[in-house]
């Protein structure tokens, strides 16, 4: 049995504006790791898990013109922390924080493995496939999967952090995907697999079987 290594990401750096469809900032998401990784929860593991913590900058203290640069530097640093603290016999588990942490978590895996050997399953109500240009909120948490996929992602200081990217054929979405026209076009043109709520309601056993087969392929 591999030891679990939790990486606690205290951050809401990916949410600097009111989220699309929301009415207020998601204040408090940065405290999520402490609420999840309690002493009592960790005691359930037969092998004591490792825990490494990284605190991202407070977005309220970052000047607007420095935001993209600060975000990219923080994602780079967190990726490096994951890589430098992970051991071969450990399973990497990253707990956040807003969804921007998925970039660093996946970037670390991409540095260790070839894209063809990586399967990516996203359980979500959104696709997170916006570019910065067409994002209605300008929050990176709604762009993170696009950045992991698209070499032409339009925030260069973040795009340049990746030398390898996820393969569209190795991605599966499960959830009530609310996407705009441009995100839907990206999903369709790249033939990315999606099981939305209609698929789940219609035939949950089939979705479970196909999702299991996708997982087993990696």
Going edge to edge, which strands form the sheet with 171-174?
120-123, 171-174, 193-195
| pLDDT value of position 196 | 92
Half-sphere exposure of 63 (CA within 13 A, CB side): 2
Q: What is the pLDDT of residues 178-187, one digit of tens each?
A: 888 999 999 9
Percent of the chain at pLDDT exceeding 70: 98
| pLDDT value of position 134 | 93
Q: What is the mean pLDDT of residues 117-137?
A: 94
Q: What is the pLDDT of residues 205-217, one digit of tens each?
A: 999 999 999 999 9
Specify whether the CB–CB gap between 191 and 169 falls below 8 A. yes
List of long-range contacts for 53-56, beta carbons under 8 Å, 24+ apart: 53/7, 53/8, 53/10, 54/7, 54/8, 54/9, 54/10, 54/78, 54/81, 55/10, 55/11, 56/9, 56/10, 56/11, 56/12, 56/13, 56/30, 56/97
Does the pLDDT value for residue 135 go beyond 70?
A: yes
Does the pLDDT value for residue 106 go beyond 70?
A: yes
Q: What is the pLDDT of residues 53-104, one digit of tens each?
A: 999 999 989 998 999 999 999 999 999 999 999 999 999 999 999 999 999 9
Does the pLDDT value for residue 18 go beyond 90?
A: no
Structural domains of the chain in order of their starting residue, each with its CATH number: 3-216 (3.40.800.10)
| DSSP per-residue string spanning 78-101 | HHHHHHHH--TTEEEEEEESSTTH
**pTM of the complete model:** 0.93
| pLDDT value of position 23 | 66
Q: Predicted confidence band at 24 (pLDDT cuts at 50, 70, 90)? A: confident
Does the pLDDT value for residue 38 go beyond 70?
A: yes
Q: What is the pLDDT of residues 148-177, one digit of tens each?
A: 999 999 999 999 999 999 999 999 999 978
As a whole number, the mean pLDDT across the chain is: 94
């Amino acid at each position: 049995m591999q030891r679990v290594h939790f990486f606690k990401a205290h951050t809401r750096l990916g949410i600097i504006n009111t989220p699309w469809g929301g009415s207020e900032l998601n204040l408090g998401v940065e405290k999520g790791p402490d609420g999840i990784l309690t002493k009592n929860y960790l005691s359930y593991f037969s092998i004591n898990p490792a825990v490494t913590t990284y605190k991202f900058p407070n977005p309220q203290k970052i000047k607007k013109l420095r935001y993209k640069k600060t975000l990219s530097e923080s994602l780079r640093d967190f990726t490096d922390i994951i890589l430098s603290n992970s051991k071969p016999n450990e399973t990497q588990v990253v707990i956040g924080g807003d969804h921007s942490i998925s970039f660093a978590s996946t970037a670390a895996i991409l540095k260790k493995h070839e894209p063809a050997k990586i399967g990516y399953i996203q359980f979500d109500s959104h696709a997170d496939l916006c570019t910065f240009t067409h994002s209605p909120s300008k929050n990176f948490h709604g762009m993170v999967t696009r950045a992991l996929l698209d070499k032409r992602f339009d925030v260069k200081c973040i795009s340049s952090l990746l030398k390898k990217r996820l393969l569209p054929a190795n991605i599966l979405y499960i959830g009530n995907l609310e996407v705009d026209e441009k995100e839907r076009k990206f999903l369709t043109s790249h033939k990315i697999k999606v099981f939305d709520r209609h698929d789940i309601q219609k035939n949950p056993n089939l979705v479970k079987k196909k999702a299991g087969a996708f997982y087993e392929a990696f």
